[in-house]
Amino acid sequence: MDKIVVLDFGSQYSHLICRRIRDFSVYAELVPFDISVDELTKHNPKGIIFSGGPSSVYNSDAPIPSAEIFKMNLPILGICYGHQLIVNNYGGKVKRANKEYGSSLLSIDNNEDLLSGIGESVRAWMSHGDEAEEIPSGFEIIGHTESAKAAAIASKDRGVYGIQFHPEVVHTELGTEILKNFALKICNAKQDWNMETFIEKTVEKLSKIEGNILCGVSGGIDSTVAALLIHKAVGDRLKCVFVDNGLLRLNEESEVEDMFKNNFKVNFTPIYAAERFLEKLQGVTDPEKKRKIVGEEFISVFTEFAEKNGPFKWLAQGTLYPDVIESGVSKGPASVIKSHHNVGGLPDWLKLEVLEPLRNLYKDEVRKAAKILDVPNNLIIRHPFPGPGLAVRIIGEVTPKKLEIAKVSSKIVEDELIGADLYDKVWQAYAAVGDDKAVGVVGDERKYGNIVMVRIVDSIDAMTADWTRLPHGLLEKISNRITNEIEDVTWVTYAISSKPPATIEPQ
């Protein structure tokens, strides 16, 4: 399978480069910027992309790739900071400039190769404080903006290109076409990345592993697809365990049991462990600690089951690419956003080897795989749910009262979206609750009650998201139902922060 490798220099958009390239059926993978040439060669890439990043190439601590990478005779595309790396490496000059953040008009000076089919000009997204003052010998300017005279450069003989703007973000018009020109026309990569091929190769690879496999299933699309792929490969050597941790959606435990027993021919065992999870969370308010506690307790439950019902060699999970990136274990310079219970939350004493067949997939790719595996559509369109469950939708300590509020209010949000035919048109919807309270009036009496925050977002892959503009009438209906049907709630708020700067989940 042909591959484009993206070197991660810490940009918030690094993952989006991979995501956009995969959209046109070419596989792309994010690797750390300091990867050795030997390791990079093992990837057998058709081309290399340098991501953006917050550093300046002239700083002493700037992240710099191995100089040998430039000698691999592979096409290279540098984006923003990556563009400046190329200028600096080949003898040009990068200088501090006025910060340019936002949309700029990119004028095309040469519409061959990289900018083929783009037209005379497009809107391009800029996010930089440095720029190329002098381009290196052997390069030409192929695009400019009013404030960046070398917004796009090329050395066609070397197959090296640099662009100051970000084609991976939706704010850049025809940005995907620019990436497609690089991958298909310059790198000559084949469009052979699809879910049919992924399933075939993954099943073949999984069938070669030895030992029994224990798979934790939550009833969500990720762990379900992981379990079905493994079962397709190893059959009865797979045992699926569903843990009711007391942090699930309203009535979810019975729904998950019914789904597995009625739809899938896998060995399925439910474990009821709500009491032990909630006991561990008592008095804990720090969100990272809550995630770690939930992750470690899951592993404790799985380990106990394995010791009684084993032997097992593997623990399988539905870990996705965004989980890996956000947990800071992708080995790039980006900071940890949050620890996902199935990645950053795994304890050091884990006795089972971890198996993650979906580790390199985004959510929408998993949904495509689910359709091929005949997963029921109601599960495919079901909204994502965090691994630590309501522990991350309850701000502060997890208490029985706040649990009940979060469960019932979230069910109201989902029901109203379904009634408005909007549920499958948004990415995620829920209600969260914390310790803040506000005064309300109930039955002509003053009442001091909880504040519920409703959060509904649109997204493609959960790496970025925008808040959903719901009709005001629907928001009013959701608010009225929550305050009328849940005794301890007096106020309902609607979260209008996008990701970034916010995250989708509050904790």
pLDDT of residue 199: 96
DSSP, residue by residue, 449-473: EEEEEEEEEEESSSSSEEE----HH
| Same fold for the pair 3-186 and 195-380 | yes
Cα 46 to Cα 363: distance, rounded to the nearest angstrom: 25
In 91-220, where does DSSP find H-type helix?
Answer: 175-180, 195-206
Secondary element (H or E) of residue 442: strand 428-442
Q: Could you tell me if 312 and 211 are in contact, meaning their C-beta atoms sit under 8 angstroms apart?
A: yes
- List of residues 6+ apart from 253 with CB closer than 8 A: 242, 244, 270, 272
Render pLDDT for 390-419 as a digit per residue (tens, 0 to 9): 999 999 999 999 999 999 999 999 999 999
pLDDT for position 338: 36
Active site (annotated) includes residue 140: no
Beta strands of 51-159 (E only): which ranges?
A: 76-79, 93-108, 121-134, 140-144, 152-155
Q: What are phi and psi of 367, to 5 degrees?
A: -65, -35
| Cα gap 89→117, rounded to integer Å | 29
In the block, residue with structure tokens 């991660």: 8
Report whether 435 contacts 449 (CB < 8 A): no
Q: H-helix or E-strand containing 402?
A: helix 400-419
Give the pLDDT score at 332: 44
Q: How far is CA 60 from the centre of its chain?
A: 32
Distance CA 302, CA 298 (A): 6
Residues 91/136, Cβ–Cβ less than 8 Å: yes
Pairing mode of beta strands 140-144, 121-134: unpaired
**Catalytic residue of the set 15, 18, 83, 168:** 168
Distances (CA, A) of 453 to 200, 373, 431, 435: 43, 36, 5, 12
From residue 13, alpha-carbon distances to 1, 32, 80, 167, 193 in Å are: 24, 14, 11, 10, 21
DSSP class of residue 394 equals B
Name, in order, each residue with C-beta under 8 angstroms of 496's C-beta and a sequence gap of 6 or more.
467
**Cα atoms in the 13 Å half-sphere on the side-chain side of 134:** 8
**Which of these is catalytic: 18, 80, 215, 240?**
80
Cβ atoms of residues 346 and 299 within 8 Å:
yes
| CATH number of this structure's domain 393-494 | 3.30.300.10
Render 145-163 in DSSP notation, one character per residue. Answer: -SS-TTSEEEETTTTEEEE
Which pLDDT score is estimated for 336? 35
| Per-residue exposure over 98-121, b if at least 16 CB sit within 10 Å of its own CB, e if not | eebeeebebebbbeebbbeebeee
- Domain residue ranges of the chain, discontinuous segments joined by +: 3-186, 195-380, 393-494
Using 70 as the pLDDT threshold, list the residues of the chain that sit under it. Answer: 98-100, 128, 325-350
With beta carbons less than 8 A apart as the criterion, state whether 122 and 172 touch: yes
3-186 fold: Rossmann fold (3.40.50)
Domain 195-380 has CATH 3.40.50.720: no
What pLDDT score was predicted for residue 229? 96
Beta strands in 203-304 (DSSP E): 213-217, 238-244, 267-272
Beta carbons of 87 and 94 less than 8 angstroms apart: yes
Active-site choice (15, 128, 144, 166): 166
The edge-to-edge listing of strands for the beta sheet with 314-316 is 267-272, 238-244, 213-217, 314-316, 353-355
Residue 25: Cβ within 10 Å count: 16
CB 31 within 8 A of CB 8: yes
Told to judge if 166 belongs to the known catalytic residues of this protein, a careful annotator would answer yes
Under 8 Å CB-to-CB from 223, ≥6 apart: which residues? 215, 216, 217, 317, 318
Any catalytic annotation for residue 231? no
